[in-house]
Structure 1
Amino acid sequence: MNSTEEPEETSKPSGGDRTLVLAVCSAAIGGTFQYGYNISIINAPTSYIQSFINDTYMERWGISLEAPQVTLMWTLIVSAFSLGGLLGALLAGPLAVRFGRKNSLLLNNSFLFVGAVLVLACRVAKSFEMIIFARFLVGINSGVSMNVQPMYFGESAPKHLRGAVAFSSAVFTAFGIFLGQIVGLTELLGTEPLWPYLLAGNALPGLIQLLTLPWFPESPRYLLIDRGDREACVRALGRLRGGEAPVLEMEEMLQEQQQQQKSAALDSGNAASAKTPWTLFKDPDLRCQLRTVMAASSAMMLCGNDSIYFYAYYIFLAAGIPPEKIQYITIGTGASELTASILSNLLIERVGRRQLLVGGYSLMCFWTVVFTVALNLQMAYLSMACVFAYILSFGLGPAGVTGILPAEIFDQAARPAAYMVAGSCMWISLFLVGMLFPFFVTSLGDFCFLPFLAVCLVSALFLGLTLPETKGKTLAEITAEFDSKNGVKKERSGTQVEEPIGEDYQLGNAYSFTSLTQDPDWKSEVSYS
């Protein structure tokens, strides 16, 4: 039976592939693309914004700021992005539950547009505080999209493509970094008169998303499990698969829905509802999964990869690269991560999540050692090559696999809260690295990357010991592996898979596509092309 049904799960009609790919592009161009773009563009106008801060203060108070005071204000602008990201991560869960995955991404663009207006008006208003607030709003946008977008992708993709589709978030992040570095060149928008347009350029991808994403379906799992709308789920799944909703996929979702309803009934006597971060921490059955996700999310930022984008100029200057060449070399860092993320996207369904994650951190350990030796020996171009290799290693695994984990190891009710916890860990870690890395450079000198070596080494060991492989597995199978690693013996996973669906849902009868196509509402909902 399995051998006859397997081709139906793996060979998809071109219409379904096209819809899924376009939905991914539409969601990502206004999602994780923005995170990458807004990380990289802040590096090019550093001196211009610092001059603007000093000139504005001089015009207001008649005195100029000292260099440390200007640096402090600049640090606030950089850090505001991380603080906004933390708030966005906390908002992502409630937004995803209340409005859905797709609508949350659409509403999220409002933060971008307000931020773009503030940046464009800061010169006229003679207010550098507007830049700080704009970066805070852009951070909120990135915090929401970094959590909701992988959730949307993981719930919309078929099981055999789940990792590749979810990993596309990392591809678009790298693409945003690369494009931000290009438009930040002095030949383009990285000049004194044009830097406000560089910072406000994130409004254009947001506008593209607003015009395109409404034409694509909501997450089928959200429609079924959160909203309880089976017909809408079948229609959305059919559009994403280019035909009828796959029977096995629908059965898996219905089993998860029934399991959640039973768990919720045992806990509170109510219907299934979304969990909060606090309930995740109190649930002993999810403690191992939560610990793994928190460690992976924190390590993703504490490994120091994004500090390279924040402080690329200082890193390459310390490595001995001529100042006039640094802006062009910096583009190579974005190109390295983009290349690695594309390669990893092709490998993830063959190699697996665990190997890419542990292997990426292991390679980063190696290149950190070589980089430290090269700095001490004043080997400028070897140092530069090590930075590229470090970013390539990060892009091969941690950059994309980390965002997939909450979608794969938590059920529908726990997933939004898990992303809230993971996102909070990620943004707090990014804030700490952004604030502390300049002090690492000052105090440690050529050994400034050794703290990152410790992070990468501990992460590789911890994740290698605690994270099971999730490639191509159902939630029940993944949960059973976590339980076995914990030494817990339960029958939950078996009952979840083998329990019959019941008479409430028969795909071949009440909810077949034949019956749905006779419904006038169905025609209106699938008429998008």
Structure 2
Amino acid sequence: MTSYGKQTVTVEEQKGHSLTLALMVASTAVGGTVQYGYNLAITNAPTVYIQKFINETFQERWGVHLEVYKVTLIWTFIVSGFSLGGLIGALLAGPMSIHFGRKKTLLLNNIFLMSSALLAVTSRTARSFEMIMISRFLVGINAGVSMNVQPMYFGESAPKHLRGAVSLSSAVFTSFGVVLGQVVGLRELLGCESCWQYLLASNAVPGFIQLFTLPWFPESPRYLLIDCGDKDGCLKALRQLRGREVRTDELDEILQEQDEAQGKRTQQPWDLISDCSVRWQLISIAIISSAMQLCGNDSIYFYASYIFQEAGISAEHIQYVTIGTGACEFTACILCNLLIEQQGRRMLLVGGYALMTCCAAIFTVALSFQDVVSWMPYMSMVCVFTYILSFGMGPAGVTGILPTEIFNHTARPSAYMIAGSLMWLNLFIMGMIFPFLVNGLGQFCFMPFGVVCLLTAVYVGLVLPETKGKTLSTITNEFRTLNFHKQESTEPKSKQAHDQLSVVFHSIAL
């Protein structure tokens, strides 16, 4: 048995409420970041069939047979619609999470998803490729909102010693969504010509699971106390997530954050940009969020098929080997989840980007000698898997945690808006320029990615402080030396009022 103040908690109760937290995470993620990974993957299998459908539609309407490049251009707009929708979703995430709360935003977000699925499943009958385009845009909005709000909800609901692992589960579920999308997209399942419309609409299933399960779990305790002023609701949420074990140090941390946010309005993105006290926090999330896409990890998925073909794998088996790339990132994210509270955030980021830099260099050499040395294609395959593994063990998981840990409650929604917008914007840019990089640079096409990884590793190693197990005040104090070039106390000015409120809050909790 464990005692905290007047409370006595059995080991069984602790396990039971750890299970509650785990179920909350699963319920949130299945309709959240799973959608991002899933919708990235499911468009690969039906590419040829949808392009054929586009051509047939033009012939039926106007009697025009499109040239290949015109079909490819329309397909590019369909694919890029997902990124543009994600950018809009990232911009909506901040206002929605403030106005509706974290949990309700995630539930309302399914409106975009269900509308997208309805358009996708009826597009073939309606003979409209425009419906597919709108469908991808709407599901992009859904992914953009969930990619921002979910890590915020997790970071504000998890205890400090599990904050990193719980927040990192967003990346685990994203990679799981990629694998799931690759499996469902197999020709033997929904990746065949007769079923592509059902494949595009299958993302509604995880959405329904979330709609039926998430209402049973509480809102973010920090949102309830700081934004809504609901002390009783905050305590009820904490008890539901922790059991009867409501630790005084956790209450103190929430109260301190409330005290620091008292009298301050929620900051808008332009407020953060002009605020000198968060200058380096903002620079850090801008660089690290941009590097997530500019490192080329998503692009390497598209290049993988060519590499596997050059390695001698038959065309009919490439789809199964490609699943291995998604499974590789999924495994790496799980390992990162186990290591993050031991190794810390900075170590995983620096190590991940440093390994990716090495892989990009070796990959370039392997591509250069692929036609000369017989075993070089297999070296390319090793580089693909190692690159993805390095990404999954560091950048994929840690990046989404940082805004929660380095920004206070009033700045956090806007920080996620900025980080998410940069991520989606760079994803769109990479999707548009990657074919030109391959054509223009040839075997050197991954050198720019290697440079991005190297510069990001150097920046993180020199600038970003470690946030593992630290309170927001401690982290803010470390950034203060960068922002103002001197050490200043972060002791709350209203310390006496905070202590009085703490006594009242603890008495209610006990």
Give the structure-2-normalised TM-score.
0.94
1:22 CA displacement: 0.4
1:328 Cα offset (Å) = 1.0
Are positions 1:420 and 2:417 aligned together?
yes
Are 2:91 and 1:116 equivalent residues in the alignment?
Answer: no
Q: 1: CA distance between counterparts of 2:148 and 2:254? A: 21
**For 2:358 and 2:299, how far apart are their aligned partners in 1?**
18
Q: In structure 1, what residue type is equivalent to 2:186? A: L
Rounded Cα–Cα distance in structure 1 between residues aligned with 2:428 and 2:306: 18
Deviations 1:68-125 (A, max 9, x none): 1111111111111000000000000000000000000000111111010111111111
For residues 133-182 of structure 1, what are the alpha-carbon distances to aligned partners after superposition, in whole Å with 9 as ceiling and x for unaligned?
10001110000000000000000000010000000000000100011111
Q: Give the SS at the match of 1:501.
A: helix
Identical amino acids, percent of aligned pairs: 61
Cα gap change, 1:311 to 1:367, in 2 (>3 Å)? closer
1:478 corresponds to 2:475:
yes
**CA positional deviation for 1:458:** 0.9
Q: Distance in 2 between matches of 1:294 and 1:18?
A: 35
- Residues in 2 aligned to 1:497 and 1:356: alpha-carbon distance in whole angstroms: 37
- Listed one character per residue, the Cα deviations across residues 13-68 of structure 1 (whole Å, up to 9, x for unaligned) are 11220110000000000000000000111111111111111111111111111111
Q: CA deviation at 1:325?
A: 2.2
Match of 1:518 in 2: none
- Superposition deviation, residue 246 in structure 1: 1.8
In structure 2, distance between residues paired with 1:83 and 1:109: 18
Amino acid at match of 2:131: M
Q: Is the 8 A contact 1:505 1:511 kept in 2?
A: no
Is 1:463 paired with 2:460? Answer: yes
Q: Is the 8 A contact 2:276 2:483 kept in 1?
A: no
Task: Please tell me whether residue 377 in structure 1 is matched to residue 369 in structure 2.
Answer: yes
- The reply on whether 1:403 has 2:400 as its aligned counterpart is yes
**CA shift digits 1:430-477 (9 cap, x unpaired):** 001111111111111112111111111111111211110000000011
Note if contact 1:36-1:176 (Cα within 8 Å) is conserved in structure 2. yes
My pick for the range that moved more, 172-181 or 502-511, is 502-511
**1:272 CA displacement:** 2.9
Match for residue 283 of structure 1? 275
Aligned pairs for 1:92-107 within 5 A: 92-107=93-108
Tell me which residue corresponds to 2:440.
Answer: 443
Task: Note the 1:65-76 alignment, pairs <5 A.
Answer: 65-76=66-77
2:338 to 318, 343, 346: 346
State how far apart, in whole Å, the 2-side matches of 1:43 and 1:384 are.
20
Does the CA-based 8 Å contact 1:40-1:309 persist in structure 2? no
Kindly state the Cα deviation for residue 314 of structure 1 after the two structures are TM-superposed: 4.3
Displacement of 1:512: 2.7
SS of the residue aligned with 2:479? helix
Matched-pair contact (CA < 8 Å) for 1:255–1:496: no
CA distance in 2, matches of 1:304, 1:40: 16
CA distance in 2 between partners of 1:247 and 1:433 (Å): 47
Q: What is the alpha-carbon root mean square deviation over aligned residues?
A: 2.1
Does the alignment pair 1:494 with 2:494? no
Among candidates 337, 352, 359, match of residue 360 of structure 1: 352
- Tell me, yes or no, if structure 1 residue 203 matches structure 2 residue 204: yes
Instruction: Name the stretch that deviates more: 301-310 or 463-472.
Output: 301-310
Distance 1:56-1:313 versus aligned 2 partners, 3 A rule: farther
Letter in 1 for 2:156: E
Q: Which amino acid aligns with 1:450?
A: M
Q: Does 1:234 align with 2:226?
A: no
The one of 381, 385, 401 equivalent to 1:388 is 385
1:255–1:497 Cα contact (<8 Å) kept? no
Superposition deviation, residue 320 in structure 1: 5.7
What one-letter code is carried by the residue in structure 2 that aligns with 1:322? S
| TM-score w.r.t. length of structure 1 | 0.91
Alpha-carbon separation, structure 1, partners of 2:64 and 2:166: 54
Paired residues of 1:43 and 1:311 also in contact (CA < 8 A): no
- Count residues with an aligned counterpart: 501
* Equivalent in the alignment of 1:174: 175
What's the secondary structure of 2:193's corresponding residue?
coil
Q: Does 1:433 align with 2:430?
A: yes
